[in-house]
Chain A
């Protein structure tokens, strides 16, 4: 009755569909709260709580004023370590996903666009990578001696090296899913009229890939990136737990569980907190990916 309906851009449509996805929206809220929680380390530090300060007289102290979740096995404040550890875990999750994702996109789009022998070679490489036992490989990569790779003694022992090492090794291992997905999507888009028109008009391969193909395969990539963040956080946690990831005193949710197996009898709650946080984060990320997928699927429009 009201006449012409205003045309909506595809992204506005997707946003509207996502807003109606209940679990997707809920997980977005939960993730925002988690990030806020982790950022709570800054005001807490201003109030004089130190994440690394140990007090051996306060080992396993129960929760009390000043230390809301009590003290850990070395007499450190549990709450602020959970917050700082969360920052590290989330940061590793996002950075490793971006790094591995960019690599995966490059491999996938090259293979899909050029096809032929190059495609076959790149995909055999990807298949070979998928066939590897990932965790043992990650452990070996986590145990490498950086000085043997030409890095300085000083850098190799620093906390920054520990952080970037884990980002890089997870990225090295976790790019295959995105590469395969991007290749499959590129194969579909490659034969579209607008791509052929661009090529007929003399556009170079690089231009066609960036201007025509990438924007049109953005939605599956976003979903895959989201799901990868969840996987990466899990990988970081297990590596740090086993002692090959983020190295104490820098906390991460994974390495806070390092001693948890012995602590399970004496201080079970110390083993519960970090695990619950990892679990909640990863399940929220996975539900977010699910919601995005539903919102991006044109068939889900009623």
Chain B
């Protein structure tokens, strides 16, 4: 078990290291460079001054040298300074990370619960009416563009019905939990709906397969109530493949979170990365992307471990 964990952690660390270099290089290929911005804000800068600044900031060095320099500092917790926020990157990053994790976890829980109910319900009678409707809804969920879903929710709930706020975390001056929750309703629903379709299909497929197995027939033959058979005997076994797939896709929620946060003006990682790229805040974009990669890698690691915990047949 511990050897398995160690090898997985090692692998994730390697991916992170490689990605840090890839992202570092990509950020360097974005339009503009830090000096352009300094020159733009200082019309008196002569070419000599620019050249000297280039040397001072090490921008004349080869990329590998600059990368290792950055990596060394990053490993010591120094991720640089955010240009747009005028604060150290970590100070900007951590609250945003917390906001995103909250949004992702809430949506994930809603999505999984909804998918379990719908998936199991559909699997009870494959080919029946419920199954048909659920399958159609699941297909719709997979096929809808998240940002458009968000737009339509804004149109319906904020513009037409005036029941929910369209953006932000809270109204000015009102810091109550209820107000906070009201601002989270639309982002969470949007993000949850975006992944429920796929989850439902997995749950349904796994349940249908499990319900055909011999031990289910045995359980029924022994006179167990149908509800007990479905919920205890079948669901538990069906969950094994489902948990892996669902946990693996927790990381992909991040892409949806970026869209949701941007649309509903939630101060999370996704919006932060988006804004940082738009405004050439290189340090922030770089660290934000790395943190996003870490979140994904970490959730995949958890998925691997959950798999072993759920299925005692697998000796890790």
Contact = CB atoms under 8 A, between A and B. Distances in A.
Interface stretch (A49-57, A134-142, A212-220): A134-142
A279 B277 contact: no
Contacts of B289: 133, 136-137, 140
A139 B273 contact: yes
B120 interface: no
Nearest to A253: B145
A181 to B, nearest CB: 15
B149 to A, nearest CB: 8
A144 B300 contact: no
Interface of A: 124, 127-128, 131-137, 139-141, 143-145, 148-149, 230, 234, 237-238, 241-243, 254, 257, 260-261, 264-265, 268, 271-272, 274-275, 278-279, 282-283, 285-287, 290
A26 B94 CA distance: 49
Contacts of A282: 142-145
Contact of B300 (A131, A139, A261): A131
Nearest to A276: B148
A282 to B, nearest CB: 4
Contacts of B151: 257, 260-261, 264, 271, 275
A131 B29 contact: no
B255 A133 contact: yes
Given A131-B297, A261-B154, A286-B142, A136 B147 contact: no
Contact of A268 (B155, B273, B288, B296): B155
A278 B296 contact: no
B38 interface: no
Contacts of A287: 139
Given A143-B31, A283-B139, A275 B145 contact: yes
Contact of B296 (A132, A143, A271, A286): A132
A145 B297 CA distance: 28
Nearest to A148: B29
A131 B254 CA distance: 11
A140 B143 contact: no
Given A136-B270, A264-B151, A286 B143 contact: yes
B230 interface: no
Contacts of B274: 139, 242
B296 A133 contact: yes
Contacts of B300: 131
A133 B292 contact: yes
B129 to A, nearest CB: 15
Nearest to B291: A133
A149 B32 CA distance: 13
Nearest to A237: B145
Most buried by B among A141, A238, A287: A238
Given A131-B15, A230-B143, A271 B155 contact: yes
